[in-house]
Amino acid sequence: MTNYIKRIYTALLLPVALLMLTSAMPVNSGEGSGHDDVIRLGFIPLTDCAPIVMAKELGLFEKYGLKVEVSKEASWANVRDKILTGELDGAHCLFSMPFSVYTGVGGKAGSEMKIAMILNNNGQAITLSNDFCGKVGFRQTNKVASVVAAKLKADKEVTFAMTFPGGTHDIWLRYWLAAAGVNQKTSRIITIPPPQMVANMKVGNMDGYCVGEPWNGLATKQNIGFTEITTQDIWKHHPEKALVVNKAFSETRTEDLKKVMKAVLEACKWLDNRGNRKKAAAIIGKPQYVNAPADVIEARLMGDYNLGCDQGTQIYTDDYMLFHRNGDTNYPRKSYGIWFMTQYVRFEYLQAAPDYKAIADKLIMQDLYLEVAKSLNVKIPADDMKPFTLTLDKVTFDPNKPDDYLKLAKK
């Protein structure tokens, strides 16, 4: 056999030998500590990815003996798909996405994504293009319908953008339109990934959008749009992002999940120290994370909102973006899941009411959160399944009577 043929023979056999070797190696079942297995957590470039990013940057995952990789994702649909397939073990995720997916609004009905804890309250906004400047101002919800009607008459179309069907931004947008008296069937509502909002508004692809920061603050800085309302003006201390995990990961690596939750809870506490927010803004603004100016991130993290359109500044003192709130933020309430699913019926995503409570029970890992919170002496709120009132229209929602709410809610 010539040396040439030997080299070819070896090259052909080597991959086969490696395959046989690796297939014979023991596979970690995922049970127990799983210290040798990397945990992959995704995030979307938004300010409220901070708990995941800072848990990594502050070494908190390592503190609990975990090897965690954080992965920047392109869209919420991408996050959904990777969690469902197990390519991601978990992610910074829209709180309502698991309900949207399970009910078939934003994915294959019956697909389970598990909610471990809430990551933040508040801190999203609705930005309108400068075409609306001077016609409707900050919190002037009563003026929106007439401005939209005039726009429809002149241009035949009004387009708003959100980030995922049935996601938090989608529901804030629809809730605001309904409160303003705008018939949503007259408007075009499209899906755009968060980091692409500003660029799309710049070229005239939409008249307004609802998204998280820093993409509202950046629009005002670049003078291409202005803040009409923040989501804390719609519902003070609303749930926003959550730590959402793959079902198999939650079941086979429960101990590791609890450690992830502990690290993230510590990061949330750290972030609610205002003295840490400048440092956080500088870190999460880096290209590998949010890739946005640190000053824009920092300003709205501190509750300092340049509204744009010569409207001056709005200072939020107790309802800017919050990550812990002495434990009130992180507790995953089933009543909140029921509220979102009720909105799906209200806005005709669903033609019939789902089994609200059963779905909330299935998708929210409340017992696991209680175990983790108690181990860290984190306060447990006692308000789940109690009625609550939204800020914008003063409408009270009773999670025990969602059908009664639907009889009164505007569409």
DSSP sequence for 236-298? TT-B-EEEEEEHHHHHH-HHHHHHHHHHHHHHHHHHTSGGGHHHHHHHHTSTTTT-S-HHHHH
Q: How far is CA 292 from CA 270, 288, 295, in A?
A: 21, 10, 9
d(CA 324, CA 336): 17
Contact between 114 and 247 (Cβ < 8 Å): yes
Residue type, 84: L
Q: Tally Cβ neighbours within 10 Å of residue 153.
A: 8
d(CA 176, CA 213): 18
* DSSP output for 214-234: THHHHHHHTTSEEEEEEHHHH
Tokens 């209200």, located at residue: 346
Token digits of residue 304: 């300092």
Residue type, 61: F
Q: How far apart are the first and last CA of the chain?
A: 80
The pLDDT value given to residue 36: 54
Residue 105 CB partners (closer than 8 Å, separation 6+): 99, 165, 166, 344, 349, 350
d(CA 272, CA 321): 9
- Counting Cβ atoms within 10 Å, is residue 25 exposed (0-12), middle (13-18) or buried (19+)? exposed
Would you write out the chain's pLDDT as a tens digit for each of its 411 residues? 444 333 333 333 333 333 333 333 333 333 333 445 999 999 999 999 999 999 999 999 999 999 999 999 999 999 999 999 999 999 999 999 999 999 999 999 999 999 999 999 999 999 999 999 999 999 999 999 999 999 999 999 999 999 999 999 999 999 999 999 999 999 999 999 999 999 999 999 999 999 999 999 999 999 999 999 999 999 999 999 999 999 999 999 999 999 999 999 999 999 999 999 999 999 999 999 999 999 999 999 999 999 999 999 999 999 999 999 999 999 999 999 999 999 999 999 999 999 999 999 999 999 999 999 999 999 999 999 999 999 999 999 999 999 999 998 988
As beta bridge partners, residue 392 has none
Token digits of residue 213: 């920061």
SS (HEC) of 85-148: HCCCCEEEEECCHHHHHHCCCCCCCCCCEEEEEECCECCEEEEEEHHHCCCCCCCCHHHHHHHH
Question: What pTM value is reported for the model?
Answer: 0.91
As beta bridge partners, residue 397 has 388
Question: Phi-psi bin for 42: left (phi > 0), alpha (psi -120 to 50), beta?
Answer: beta
The pLDDT value given to residue 262: 98
Residue 319 CB partners (closer than 8 Å, separation 6+): 121, 122, 232, 236, 237, 303
Tokens 């990777």, located at residue: 82
DSSP 142: G
Residue 115 CB partners (closer than 8 Å, separation 6+): 95, 98, 242, 243, 244, 332, 337, 363, 364, 365
d(CA 308, CA 54): 30
Contact between 95 and 118 (Cβ < 8 Å): yes
* DSSP output for 107-119: SSTT--EEEEEE-
The pLDDT value given to residue 411: 80
Closest CA to 341 of 20, 4, 135, 96: 96
Tokens 């959904």, located at residue: 80
Sign of CA dihedral 115, 117, 122, 124: negative
φ, ψ of residue 249 to 5 degrees: the values are -60, -45
Contact between 342 and 402 (Cβ < 8 Å): yes
d(CA 24, CA 4): 31
